[in-house]
Structure 1
Amino acid sequence: MLFDDLLNNPAKWMVESRDEHDIVLTSRIRLARNLTATPFPGWATRQQREETLKLTSGEARQIPVMKGGYYAELSGLTQQQKQLLVERHLISRELAARSEGCAVLISRSQNASILFNEEDHLRLQYILPGIQLKKAWGAISKIDSELEARLPYAYNTRLGYITACPTNLGTGMRASVMMHLPGLVISEQMQQVVQAAAQLNITVRGLYGEGTEATGNLFQISNQSTLGDSEDQIVERMTRFTSDLAHQEWNARRRLLQSSSLQVKDRVSRAYGLLTNATLLSTQEALALLSFLRMGASLDIFSHQALKNVNKTIMNIQPAHLARLSTTDQTTPEHRDQIRADIIRKELSGN
């Protein structure tokens, strides 16, 4: 599978939504795994990382679901190619910052990906649209079991799977969902959500995870602890919290429409006006305006048809995707803002 094949055929979870109210966009399960008697990537020499990569990637590429997928060593990718994979949530920002002895393997469906020598020797992830954490866990568990049968995993009967960061000890699992929460943001309830989540050992982060902002009212929500709970318990708690939060978001949107109908409709209309007429749009402004349109569509203020490809549009207006569409080798921020505005204008007009 070639890089262009990967980019020209985005996974369904990237461009489709299973949530009728467009609240829960994706579900992801990520597992951290390491080998015995082998230094963690951050402590290993270049030669040790390359030896570990040769062993782990060779076995991973033999797993049926990963055969025929896209494989690349980070040292062979350009900075733009790395950023494209980050923007599609196929690799982490941490892996993109690395090079020698690091690689990624992505299944043909692009639901599954394996990161080699990021913080841990292996980071396995599986992504599905909507609230499907249990299904994602079942899928990645099969891949994990096949790898564990082939590789000497570092495991302790008391501490569980050994990881580079102590916070990942135990199951090594991060169960996360991407949620669109404009109703709770506008009604100033997100602080209460963050506090309630913390009491359940759940954390609320931005679009690209730890250290990033919640641009466009998009939040990544995941379990904070991995030690002391089973995988099934983590998935169940996260699924229940996500369902409850989606219900709160929907109620917040309906209350806003009931108490401030004209203001909400005006905000949605203004967002549409700017998006269909602006000649320059930054990433932050575009995502913020598209967020209002998405909310308006869920409340039947705005046509669902005009937003049928909104997830794909959001992906295509990220900086690295725009640079790929540019006809020049060097793109300035202003040029990217112009291309972004053109893409959105054409998408909303149906051209």
Structure 2
Amino acid sequence: MAKVLTPEMYEMYAELRAKSMPSGFTLDFVIQTGVDNPGHPYIMTVGCVASDEESFEVFRELFDPIIEDRQGDYKPSDERKTDLNPDNLQGGDNLDPNYVLSSRVHTGRSIRGFCLPPHCSRGEHPAIEKLAVEALSSLDSDLAGRYYALKSMTEAEQQQLINDRFLFDKPVSPLLLATGMKTFLVWINEEDHLRVISIQKGGNIKEVFTGFCNGLTQIETLFKSKNYEFMWNPHLGYILTCPSNLGTGLWAGAHIKLPHLGKHKKFSEVLKRLQLQKRGTGGVDTAAVGGVFDVFNADSLGFSKVELVQMVVDSVKPLIEMQQRLEQGQAINDLMPAQK
């Protein structure tokens, strides 16, 4: 946000500041998170949020260059790709479990007709909860599970969910819904209306992605049966709160043991060339512990869901090969990947 909204852009700022959404959402609300949080020690943050679908049009002079920069040169005239068929994924079912500790795929969805969480009214939060719980309670038996409301969850239940990696920190979001399978979850009213997550131990990302596709398809069908749609348009794809999550809104990744590579001076360059990013296993605000990194796709717009998961699948093996070389005290210069 700060890279775009420079002092030289004062005229644009003055023009956008005069605009307001019907809900009362203004430019000041759009940029407040970037003003309050001007930097982060591990990642380049976006620094702005939306209130609904129309925000990206009303404030497009600000959003378009931010999206283009954050989403790998995605132009205002570009249209997103779509592919939710797990059969089109090549490989990903046998990643080395000695290095890949767990795999996950997750995305967000926003329900048309409600403001996004940064600007939800007090009445919209419980309405979204009620609608989501009713819809998700109709999932097929293999996806059926238990609903947890944070306002009534015990400390023991909270801690167990954190231990299982279903809550990654003490919860601040209002609601959570998790299934008995413990591989498929839905968060409600967190950063987005819905956050759909498929996760399991080991390196079978293809199995994780297949479960994700099945569950997400069912969820969309259930909401349509209640006459609700998810926010979407041909240019930005699925609309979510943060511009970094537009398009597919999909993040595929794995917790990988890379103690040697993680300390190598070229690690960041390797990830950049593979179009990946990293963080600690406890979330965006954490560093790696014991050489274990959470590695996932850097972009979500301009690629189909299958392409994004394929990007991660194709990148894990060279990362492991580099780690193995370094374990043996050998150089990795000849293994440096080309820029994707």
TM-score with structure 2 setting the length: 0.64
Residue 249 of structure 2 corresponds to 172
- Runs of at least 5 residues in structure 1 that lack an aligned partner in the other structure: 1-17, 257-351
Distance 2:96 2:143 in 1: 34
Residue 98 of structure 1 corresponds to 173
- Structure 1 residues 250 and 53: CA distance shift in structure 2, 3 A: same
Distance 1:92 1:123 in 2: 14
- Deviation, structure 1 residue 24: 0.6
Of residues 253, 261, 274 in structure 2, which corresponds to 1:184?
261
- Deviation, structure 1 residue 67: 5.3
Partner deviation per Cα, 1:115-147 (whole Å, 9 max, x = no partner): 011101110111133322222122111111111
Distance 1:69 1:97 in 2: 22
- Deviation, structure 1 residue 65: 4.5
Partner deviation per Cα, 1:146-185 (whole Å, 9 max, x = no partner): 1111221111111100001111000010001001122324
Aligned: 1:145 with 2:201 = no
Aligned: 1:45 with 2:45 = no
Partner deviation per Cα, 1:219-272 (whole Å, 9 max, x = no partner): 10011210000111111110011111112112222338xxxxxxxxxxxxxxxx
SS of residue paired to 1:243: helix
The letter of the residue matching 1:193 is: F
Distance 1:139 1:21 in 2: 19
Of residues 326, 329, 333 in structure 2, which corresponds to 1:255?
329
Q: What root-mean-square deviation, in Å, do the aligned CA atoms of Structure 1 and Structure 2 show?
A: 2.0
Partner deviation per Cα, 1:63-87 (whole Å, 9 max, x = no partner): 1156552211111124553243123
Contact 1:131-1:239 at 8 Å conserved across structures? no
- Runs of at least 5 residues in structure 2 that lack an aligned partner in the other structure: 1-93, 224-228, 331-340
Partner deviation per Cα, 1:197-240 (whole Å, 9 max, x = no partner): 12333111001121111112111001121000011111111001
Residue 242 of structure 1 corresponds to 316
The letter of the residue matching 1:177 is: A
The letter of the residue matching 2:162 is: V
- Structure 1 residues 242 and 65: CA distance shift in structure 2, 3 A: farther
Q: Which runs of 4+ in 1 moved over 3 A?
A: 18-21, 65-68, 78-81
Residue 79 of structure 2 corresponds to none
Mapping for residues 101-120 of structure 1, pairs under 5 Å:
102-104=175-177, 106-120=178-192
Residue 158 of structure 2 corresponds to 82
- Structure 1 residues 121 and 92: CA distance shift in structure 2, 3 A: farther
Distance 1:218 1:135 in 2: 22
SS of residue paired to 1:64: coil
The percentage of counterpart residues that share the same residue type is 24
Q: Which has the higher contact order (CA 8 A, sep 6+)?
A: 2
Residue 27 of structure 1 corresponds to 103
Of residues 224, 232, 235 in structure 2, which corresponds to 1:158?
235
- Structure 1 residues 147 and 158: CA distance shift in structure 2, 3 A: same
The letter of the residue matching 1:139 is: G
- Structure 1 residues 62 and 225: CA distance shift in structure 2, 3 A: same
Distance 2:306 2:122 in 1: 37
Distance 1:103 1:66 in 2: 19
The answer to which of 144-153 and 191-200 deviates more is 191-200
TM-score with structure 1 setting the length: 0.62
Distance 2:248 2:102 in 1: 21
Structure number with the higher helix fraction is 1
State the aligned residue count.
232
Distance 1:133 1:113 in 2: 16
